[in-house]
């Protein structure tokens, strides 16, 4: 957390981040920049790389020093770095610390030095370089922490979508190549990208934030509540579809509504909330029937907490066009055709594609069948899959037991003969989801099981001859 | 209809309304015809809603000549603005009003959609509630059919009832040519180039919703098989609705993945798939 304040205010980085329009930037720590590993490949992308790097790090330009950053020698006090002195020198030649022949170039020859246009080129190079480093930095641990601070202070603003009711957004680039797209904002509540409201951000390159950052951020902080806590459930209760509730200014205190913060999740995950069925009936009878018989919702789906999966989408969060109170039919020429974009299943289990698939076609999540070892034939398979565990720990039983699998004994103790063929790879890939296998009994034969897993690994090919 | 788009009120000097329209923060409003506002029928019921109704009306129509102190003047001014807004909500669903608002829509006076994939499509004002004093004005994007908060806090303070909840839908009923072509494109969250599973699974589910909608529309005879519901339909198939529950789950995983994998062969794929998967 110290990174954000580590920069002195008059450093280049500090100045750059305080410029108007640069509010989204985090201050990259100098340690990060000084690590050459973090700069891999940037030399080819940035002209005047060395000079730009020196500018970013506020290093006195020195052409004697070949190692671009760390030990700058103070003996030469000239401001110029001799670029103009030997004009033919390509910037690329300077970049990788190729020693500039200090003896060959007289310092007086370089004295006429860097012109203002030269400085501006370096300045823009420095901005480009800083942006590219920044894109890498904010996917590193200290960078993400720093962005977390900015996120919590709402430096990136809020989702403009009414039904997201002021969810906080994160900057994102639509491409990782600089110079193509400006920065956009990613809303975790509706999983969509928006243009920043203020035009001053139209000058900021999206590649300086990168395509990866926002979701990596939310994967790093899985417990972060994506939806604003205030007025969650009360909104649903009070108004249902028309709960466009005072979202005029997301920052405005809404004390009265903050009362019920029992559920941060959307109405979808809380079917028992008493007020919701009424709301739903008013809107859609068919779904309200479903609503009352909703199976228990899992705490997490597809790797993220259920209440954090697009809380701004789904029933009650989709705009319903009405004329004088009557809904516009889907069949009308001007009728709603984009509801799918904001939809989300009432029963979140419908998104558990792997489970649904296996419930229908057998097998388990790791693409293996789950027969407790009763036949000798199975030993080969088990041997293959247990191989992994054994490699990690000779006592495979202990590991499995600690995972809460409650494996059957004869399965765990089956002969473990590594068979070294394709099976091993298969189980390696599926190993992450191995738990729970023993719980699910199915009557599929071994042969089927192998086929299923093969199918799964092959991206679930369309071939359905085995059904 | 073009006649209505000409500048109105040329006979009168609409001092107050000119001032109101051009004042900062009121960019969303169009000018109400003098003859509309002087027709008492159009104002039915508003006298109970607005204080100093008569004075406010006089002010709007520039016949205000009451001698009063500044406080009173201020109050009447406020009432006049309120009255103007309420009349405005009625006016913009008339033929003339719609024409004026279409002009403003085409000039993007109401702003542009912030959603990246809507490509700055012009917005339309929308009031979540028809009752004054409840909800502020929102903006409707016809391309993604969603509603957004205005960027500026000045606009966010305008009462939504001054535009009403029906206006933009009526506009598109009257001017169906203005309905934009919808797009199937969506933003896909990615991490290091890989799509995020949770988001991608939701996207697949949403795609199946869209196919269901397409099937419903076909069933109802609203669109034909070759209809281009989304702009991408010209290039690639949207896939077909699963025939029944039996096939549905197989479809969830397999075929869709293929389709997305072979975007180019999408049309061809549909041709081969369609005969074996007839719609209900």
CB contact under 8 A, B147 and A161: yes
CA of B123 to nearest chain A CA: how many angstroms apart? 13
**In the structure encoding, which two tokens stand for residue A304, read together?**
């993220």
Strand B123-126 and strand A326-327: the pairing is unpaired
- Give the model's confidence band at B202: pLDDT under 50 very low, under 70 low, under 90 confident, else very high: very high
Find the CB nearest B192 among A212, A244, A313.
A212
What chain A residue is nearest to B190 in terms of C-alpha separation? A212
pLDDT (tens place) for every residue of chain A, 467 residues total: 444 445 556 789 999 999 989 999 999 999 999 999 999 999 998 988 999 999 999 887 655 444 444 343 333 333 334 333 333 333 433 433 333 333 333 333 444 455 667 888 899 999 999 999 999 999 999 999 999 999 999 999 999 999 999 899 999 999 999 999 999 999 999 999 999 998 899 889 999 999 999 999 999 998 888 887 654 444 443 333 333 444 333 333 333 333 333 334 333 343 343 443 434 344 444 444 445 677 888 888 888 888 888 899 988 899 999 999 999 998 888 889 899 999 999 888 888 888 888 888 877 666 555 544 444 444 444 444 444 444 444 443 444 434 444 344 444 344 444 444 444 434 334 343 444 443 444 433 344 434 434 334 444 444 334 43
A192 closest CA partner among B146, B181, B261: B146
With tokens 């243009």, the residue in question is A195
Distance from CA of B213 to the nearest CA of A (A): 8
Closest CA to A236 of A197, A272, A198, A185: A272
Long-range contacts of residues B118-123, Cβ cutoff 8 Å, at least 24 apart? B118/B143, B118/B144, B118/B183, B119/B143, B120/A195, B121/B180, B123/B148
* N- to C-terminal Cα separation, chain B: 44
- Model ipTM value: 0.78
Cite the DSSP H helix spans in chain B. 15-22, 34-38, 53-60, 70-91, 95-106, 153-156, 167-174, 197-219, 245-250, 256-261, 266-276
d(CA A142, CA A35): 14
Give the rounded percent of residues in chain B with a pLDDT score beyond 70.
80
- Contacts with B222 from chain A: Cβ below 8 Å: 331
Q: Where are the beta strands (DSSP E) in A214-289?
A: none
User: Are A138 and A186 a contacting pair, CB within 8 Å?
Assistant: no
Write the residue in B190, B206, B213 that is nearest to A330 by C-beta: B213
Q: Is B148 on the interface with A (CB under 8 A)?
A: yes
User: What is the pLDDT, as a whole number, of residue A195?
Assistant: 94
Q: Give, as one character, the DSSP assignment of residue B252.
A: I
Q: How far is CA B211 from CA A316, A434, B13, B156, in A?
A: 21, 34, 55, 36
The confidence band for B86, taking pLDDT boundaries of 50, 70 and 90, is very high
The pLDDT assigned to B105 comes to: 95
- Contacts for B272 with CB less than 8 Å, ≥ 6 apart: none
Q: Does B136 touch chain A (CB under 8 A)?
A: yes
Instruction: Note the pTM of the prediction, 2 decimals.
Output: 0.67
**B182 vs A contacts (CB less than 8 Å):** 337-338
Note whether B189 contacts A344, CB cutoff 8 Å: no
Q: How far is A349 from chain B (nearest CA, A)?
A: 11
Q: d(Cα B149, Cα B97) in Å, to the nearest integer?
A: 23
B34-62 pLDDT, tens per residue? Answer: 899 989 999 999 989 898 999 999 999 88
Contact of B165 with chain A, judged by CB distance below 8 Å, is answered with yes
Closest residue, chain B, to A189 (C-alpha): B199
Q: Which of A328, A343, A361 sits opposite B169 (nearest CB)?
A: A328
Q: According to the model, what pLDDT value does residue B138 have?
A: 95
pLDDT at residue B275 above 70?
A: no
Query: Tokens standing for B85?
Result: 């807004």
Spatial separation of the C-alpha atoms in residues B53 and B45, rounded to whole Å: 11
Mean pLDDT to the nearest integer, B231-257: 52
Facing residue for B205 by CB, picked from A193, A195, A350: A350
Q: What are the residue ranges spanned by the domains of chain A? A: 12-61+118-220, 313-361
DSSP state of A104: T
Separation between Cα atoms, residue A321 and residue A453, nearest integer Å: 46
B1 touches chain A (CB under 8 A): no
Chain B CA closest to residue A308 = B198
**Calpha distance A223→A256 (Å, rounded):** 25
In chain B, the residue whose alpha carbon lies closest to the alpha carbon of A343 is B206
Encode burial over B102-138: b for 16+ CB neighbours within 10 A, e otherwise. bebbeeebbbbbbbbbbeebbbbbbbbbbebebbbbb
CATH for A12-61+118-220 is: 2.20.25.20
Using a 10 angstrom Cβ sphere, with 0-12 exposed, 13-18 middle and 19 or more buried, the burial of residue B173 is middle
Of B193, B202, B254, the CB nearest to A461: B254
C-alpha A398, offset from chain centre: 34
In contact, A373 and A414? CB cutoff 8 Å: yes
Q: How far apart are CA B182 and CA B202, in angstroms?
A: 20
Specify the pLDDT at position A451. 40
| Secondary structure element (H or E) that encloses residue B237, with its range | none
Q: Name the closest residue on chain B to residue A247, using Cα atoms.
A: B149
Q: Measuring CA to CA, how many Å separate B187 from each of A184, A247, A339, B116, B262? A: 11, 24, 16, 8, 19
Instruction: Flag if A242 and B115 touch (Cβ within 8 Å).
Output: no
Which of A244, A324, A353 has its CB closest to that of B147?
A244
Q: Which two tokens stand for residue A315?
A: 């029933």
Cβ contact A301–B198 (<8 Å): yes
Interface test with B, best of A186, A321, A433 (most B CBs within 10 A): A321
The residues facing A187 across adjacent strands are A192
Q: Contact, A182 vs A201, CB < 8 A?
A: yes
Distance from CA of A197 to the nearest CA of B (A): 6
- Give me the residues of B, 15-54, that contact A with CB < 8 A: none
Which of A161, A191, A247 is nearest residue B189 as measured by Cβ atoms?
A191
Crossing angle of the two packed helices A285-292 and A275-283, in degrees rounded to 10: 150
Give the CA diameter of chain A: 89
Listed residue (B64, B69, B109) closest to B83, CA to CA: B64
- Output the pLDDT for position A8: 59
**Which one-letter DSSP state was computed for residue B126?**
E
Q: Does B195 touch chain A (CB under 8 A)?
A: no
Of B143, B166, B252, the CB nearest to A353: B252
Q: Is the dihedral of CA A158, A159, A160, A162 positive or negative?
A: negative
Is B189 within 8 Å of A197 when comparing Cβ atoms? no
Q: What pLDDT was estimated at residue B13? A: 57
**Residue B233: pLDDT above 90?**
no
What distance in Å separates the CA atoms of residue A244 and residue A241, rounded to the nearest whole number?
8
- Say how many CB pairs under 8 Å bridge A and B: 182
- Domains of chain B: residue spans and CATH: 15-178 (2.20.25.20)
Residue with tokens 């027709």: B39
In this predicted structure, the answer to whether residue B95 has a pLDDT above a threshold of 90 is yes
Contact A34/A57 with Cβ under 8 angstroms?
yes
- Burial label, B196 (beta-carbon count in 10 A; 0-12, 13-18, 19+): buried
Q: Which of A140, A156, A159, A161 to mutate to test the interface with B (most CBs of B within 10 A)?
A: A161
Paired tokens of B147: 């509603």
Cβ-Cβ contacts under 8 Å, A212 against chain B:
190-193
CA distances from B233 to A334, B145, B237, B270, B277 (A): 18, 19, 6, 11, 19
Which chain B residues are Cβ-neighbours of A343 within 8 angstroms? 205-206, 209
Which chain B residue's Cα is nearest to A319? B146
């Amino acid at each position: 957390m110290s990174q954000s304040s580590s920069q002195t205010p008059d450093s280049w980085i500090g100045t750059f981040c305080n410029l108007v329009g640069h509010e989204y930037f985090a201050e990259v720590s100098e340690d990060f920049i000084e690590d050459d590993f973090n700069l891999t490949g940037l030399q080819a992308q940035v002209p005047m790389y060395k000079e730009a790097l020196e500018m970013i790090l506020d290093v006195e330009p020195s052409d004697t020093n070949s190692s671009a950053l760390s030990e700058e020698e103070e003996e030469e006090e000239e401001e110029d770095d001799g670029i103009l002195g030997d004009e033919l020198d390509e910037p690329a030649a300077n970049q990788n610390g190729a020693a500039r022949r200090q003896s060959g170039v007289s310092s007086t020859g370089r004295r006429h030095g860097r012109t203002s246009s030269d400085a501006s080129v370096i300045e823009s190079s420095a901005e480009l370089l800083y942006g590219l480093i920044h894109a890498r930095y904010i996917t590193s641990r200290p960078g993400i922490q720093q962005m977390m601070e900015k996120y919590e202070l709402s430096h990136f603003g809020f989702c403009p979508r009414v039904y997201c009711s002021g969810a906080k957004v994160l900057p994102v680039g639509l491409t990782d190549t600089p110079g193509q797209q400006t920065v956009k904002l990613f809303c975790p509540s509706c999983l969509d990208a928006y243009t920043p409201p203020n035009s001053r951000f139209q000058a900021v390159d999206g590649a300086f934030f990168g395509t990866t950052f926002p979701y990596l951020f939310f994967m790093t902080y899985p417990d972060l509540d994506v939806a604003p806590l205030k007025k969650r459930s009360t909104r649903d209760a009070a108004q249902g579809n028309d709960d466009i509730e005072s979202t005029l200014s997301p920052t405005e205190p809404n004390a009265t509504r903050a009362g019920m913060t029992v559920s941060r999740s959307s109405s979808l995950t809380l079917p028992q909330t008493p007020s919701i069925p009424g709301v739903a009936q008013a809107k859609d009878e068919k779904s309200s029937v479903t609503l009352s018989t909703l199976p228990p919702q899992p705490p997490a789906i597809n790797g993220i907490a259920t209440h954090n999966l697009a809380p701004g989408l789904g029933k009650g969060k989709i705009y319903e066009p009405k004329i004088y109170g009557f809904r516009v039919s889907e069949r009308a020429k001007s009728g709603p055709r984009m509801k799918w974009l904001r939809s989300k299943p009432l029963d979140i289990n419908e998104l558990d594609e792997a489970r649904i698939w296996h419930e229908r076609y057998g097998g388990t999540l790791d693409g293996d069948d789950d027969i407790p070892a009763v036949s000798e034939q199975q030993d080969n398979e088990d041997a293959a899959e247990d191989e992994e565990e054994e490699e990690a720990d000779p006592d495979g039983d202990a590991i499995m037991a600690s995972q809460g699998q409650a494996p059957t004994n004869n399965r765990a103790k089956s002969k473990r003969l590594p068979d070294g063929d394709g099976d091993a790879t298969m189980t390696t890939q599926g190993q992450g989801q191995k738990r729970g296998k023993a719980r699910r009994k199915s009557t599929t034969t071994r042969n089927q099981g192998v086929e299923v897993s093969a199918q799964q690994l092959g991206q679930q090919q369309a071939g359905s001859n085995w059904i | 209809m073009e006649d209505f788009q000409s500048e109105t009120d040329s006979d009168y000097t609409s001092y107050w309304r000119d001032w109101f329209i051009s004042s900062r923060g009121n960019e969303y409003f169009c000018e109400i015809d003098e003859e509309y506002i002087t027709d008492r029928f159009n104002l039915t019921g508003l006298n109970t809603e607005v204080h100093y109704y008569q004075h406010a009306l006089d002010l709007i129509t520039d016949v205000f000549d009451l001698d009063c102190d500044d406080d009173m003047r201020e109050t009447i001014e406020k009432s006049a603005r309120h009255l103007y807004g309420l009349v405005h909500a009625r006016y913009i669903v008339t033929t003339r009003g719609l024409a004026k608002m279409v002009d403003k829509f085409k000039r993007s006076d109401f702003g542009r959609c912030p959603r990246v994939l809507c490509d700055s499509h012009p917005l339309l004002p929308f009031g979540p509630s028809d009752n004054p004093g409840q909800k502020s004005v929102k903006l409707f994007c016809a391309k993604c059919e969603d509603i957004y908060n205005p960027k500026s806090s000045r606009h966010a303070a305008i009462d939504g009832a001054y535009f009403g909840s029906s206006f933009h839908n009526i506009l598109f009923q009257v001017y169906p040519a203005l309905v934009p072509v919808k797009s199937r494109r969506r933003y896909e969250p990615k991490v290091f180039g890989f799509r995020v599973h949770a988001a991608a699974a939701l996207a697949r589910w949403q795609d199946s919703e869209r196919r269901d909608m397409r099937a419903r529309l076909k069933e109802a005879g609203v669109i034909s098989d070759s209809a281009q519901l989304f702009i991408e339909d010209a290039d690639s198939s949207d896939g077909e609705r699963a025939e029944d529950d039996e096939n549905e789950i197989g479809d969830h995983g397999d075929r869709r993945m293929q389709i997305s994998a072979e975007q180019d062969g999408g049309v061809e794929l549909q041709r081969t798939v369609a005969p074996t998967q007839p719609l209900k």
